[in-house]
Amino acid sequence: MKTPAEAAARWRRWRHGWDVVVILVDRDLKALYKRSILGIGWAVAAPLLQLLVFSLVFHRVLAVQVDNYTSFAFCGLLVWSWFQSALSQSTGLITSSQALVRQPGFPLALLPFVTVGVRFIHYAIALPILFVFMAVQGIRPGIAWLALPVVAAVQFVLTTGLAYPLAALNVRLRDTQHVVFVVLQLLMFLTPIFYSVESVPAKYRPWFDLNPMTVLLDAWRGVLLHNHWPAAGPLTLLGLIAVLLVWVGERLFVSQSYRFVDEL
Amino acid sequence: MSHATVQLDHVWKKFRRGQLHDSLRDLIPAVAKKLIGRGPKADELQQGDFWALHDVSFEVKAGEALGIIGRNGAGKSTILKVLTRILRPTRGRVQLTGRVGSLIEVSAGFHPDLTGRENVMLQGSIMGMRPAEIVRKFDEIVGFSGIAEFIDTPVKRYSSGMNARLGFSIAAHLDPEVLIIDEVLAVGDLAFQQRAFGRIAEMVRRDIPVVIVSHQLERVASLCTRAILMEHGRAIYDGGVTDTITMYVQRASQQDTETLAAASDCPVRIGSLNVTTGNNYESGTTASYEIRVETLTPVRQEIEPLQVAVRDMQSGTLVFITSASGLGVDIRQPGARTLNGTLQLNLPPGTYLLETQVTDNYNHRAIAVGPEAVLNVVPGRHFRGQVQLNAELALAPAGDGVRLDAAG
């Protein structure tokens, strides 16, 4: 049993953690777009430019056949960008936050949440553009949209769970950030962003299904574009794996965090 | 009344000189050795390791202010890092509970692109204040720092003094249950230092346990109730603050050269420093000293084999720095030598520390610190101010006087 004093201390810790996450997200958003004309508008402009080039290549040149291609591709692109930018940024998180690492009592384990959160906000800001594309292509919101928070939560937790070990490892081995960069680049083409997973030859298909981003993209598109409830089995499994990853990752991260000052 | 505990229980901390393995090529063999059980045990010394803390224990009770003194590299700052859990002890236990106010690197968390105002919110929150609390205390914090007119300027345009003042002001308004201070009193101008000192003294009076690491012996003497003397990672004396300071002063000149953690080896050993003219000087008089130095291997150009400096023990600042090379003495080739030097103490009355060290010319950091000696400067001919300029003033011979109103 916990004493009331311990419970109060725990409550204060959680509240402080929440305060810190909010203020750091705010700091990152402010600092990211200081002295920039377009500012947070880049959250919209960057994926639009990508969409322009990639849809030209995949849709016009390679003639990928999918209904409502613009909405399909843009949905995939946004979801993927959130994952990719959050993961590549959190890998370098500790090495680029030396001041916070040296701050006595600073709860370092909150940092991955901050990065994944900042990137989620970028994603959320670009979403209305997707809704415009969808409206133009005649797609209407439906009851299955109620599942969106769940899908977003699974992706949030999964990304954070992957971020912990990568950020910790990168302190020891700076090779990590280069490996992550390359792997994410390659994974982008192995994830059905600009093509449909249905068009993958059957003998490769099981490998594609192992990619958690395939599962997540399928869920996002099912809900947003087709008003389908996500398949409960794969998403639940992925959710459990994600929670496990955060649980193990956070412990690993905290146990390693004593070495960060030594090694930075 | 504070319910905080501050306790170090037989704490050891191992450091390694130079670099850890940085790339995969070095790491894989090390990990492999560890896996098959042939690797070194984590809590034993390997080649190149040393104990930065060697079995250190102490407890600070409510109403006690503990000063930690000792030379650079003796383990003072390591104690604070272990205490605040930035570093984990190799062995032993650390207890620190309650809301901790730490005046360590107080402005390090500032984001250069954000304004002072935004950084107060940020840093205050990181240190444990609630947003509403920061808003409530905001004017007080800014007023204390004395930089109100620049509060909406990005912090990157601040001078380092302004940075430190703002950082200190935030930390000083934390209402902590434990206070941990590392050498921060040496920031800002004299007026700000006085204000900062007053603020800390007030917290000590409120029965908050306080731990202070400082070079400013006079500050330690007036703030602390108790002090620990660190030498080579060991707490060699723990007692009343006056006794500990006396002990430090007595032992300072007999210390051997100590190579600091960041440097892998040091080509010079500074064996002894002897002030031959005693400890007490009238302002403007000259002190003579003798230094024994042994150069072990040829000293590269970017290293200064002997730096001599005078530190003001009240402000903690270095008031004078010179070096063997600067004074035209070449001790770069191997050999044992004795050097004789003098210093004319054109200084205001106070306590000064004569320090010796081997310095990296590149970043002006110490590679190794040598023996030290205390110099007490007492009033000589009357003056006020920061430098004794050996002023002369005399009456002109009689008869040469000219009445001012008669001139022209």
Average pLDDT in chain A:
88
The contact set of B with A (CB < 8 A) is: 20, 22-24, 27, 81, 84-88, 100, 102, 104-105, 108-111, 113-114, 118, 121-122, 125-128, 130-131, 154, 180
Inform me whether the pLDDT recorded for B381 exceeds 80.
Answer: no
Which tens digit of pLDDT belongs to each residue from B50-88?
888 989 999 998 888 899 988 877 888 889 888 887 888
Q: Find all residues with CB under 8 Å of A223, minimum gap 6, and list them.
A: A144, A145, A147, A148, A151, A229, A230
Interchain pair A104, B130: CB under 8 A: no
The alpha carbon dihedral of A93, A97, A98, A103 has a sign of negative
Tokens of B404: 């001012």
Structure letter (DSSP) for residue B49:
E
Whole-number Å distance between alpha carbons of B270 and B188: 33
Q: Is the ipTM of this complex over 0.95?
A: no
pLDDT digits (tens, 9 = 90+) for A83-104: 999 999 999 988 888 778 877 7
Indicate which of B13, B17, B31, B86 best probes the interface with A, i.e. most A CBs within 10 Å of its own CB: B86
CB crowding A5-40: b at 16 or more within 10 Å, else e: eeeeeeeeeeebeebbbebbbbbbbbeebeeeeeee
Within 10 Å of residue B329's Cβ, how many Cβ atoms? 15
Smallest CA–CA separation between A156 and chain B, in Å?
23
Q: Which pLDDT does position B408 carry in this prediction?
A: 46
- How far B287 CA sits from the closest chain A CA (Å)? 42
Dihedral sign for Cα A88, A34, A78, A189, please.
negative
The β-bridge relationship of strands B226-231 and B65-70 is: parallel
User: Which residues of A, range 160-179, sit inside 8 Å of B by Cβ?
Assistant: 172-175
Tell me the C-alpha distance between A156 and B374, whole Å.
60
- Set out the domains of chain B in order of their start, with CATH numbers: 5-248 (3.40.50.300), 262-378 (2.70.50.60)
Least confident of B51-60, B108-117, B279-288, B395-404: B395-404
Report, as an integer, the average pLDDT of B21-48.
61
For chain A, give the percent of residues with pLDDT over 90: 40
Angle at B143 between CA B137 and CA B145, to 5 degrees: 105
Instruction: Name the residue with higher pLDDT: B262 or B373.
Output: B373
Q: Out of A102-116, A174-188, B58-72, B88-102, give the one with best mean pLDDT.
A: A174-188
Query: Are the beta carbons of A247 and A254 closer than 8 angstroms?
Result: no
User: Would you place residue B1 in the very low, low, confident or very high pLDDT band (cuts 50, 70, 90)?
Assistant: very low
d(CA A11, CA B348): 54
Question: What ranges do the domains of chain A cover?
Answer: 40-263
Average pLDDT over residues A242-257: 91
Residues 6+ apart with CB under 8 A from B95: B5, B6, B7, B9
**Quick check: A100 and B109 in contact, CB under 8 A?**
yes
Confidence of residue B332 (pLDDT cuts 50, 70, 90): very high
The Cα–Cα gap between B107 and B165 comes to 8
Query: DSSP string spanning A172-230?
Result: H-THHHHHHHHHHHHHHHHSSSSS-GGGS-TTTHHHHHT-HHHHHHHHHHHHHHH-PPP
Give the pLDDT confidence of A40-73 residue by residue, as tens digits: 888 888 888 888 888 888 777 887 778 888 889 9
> Any bridge partners for residue B262, and if so which?
none
- Distance, in angstroms, between B102 CA and closest chain A CA? 7
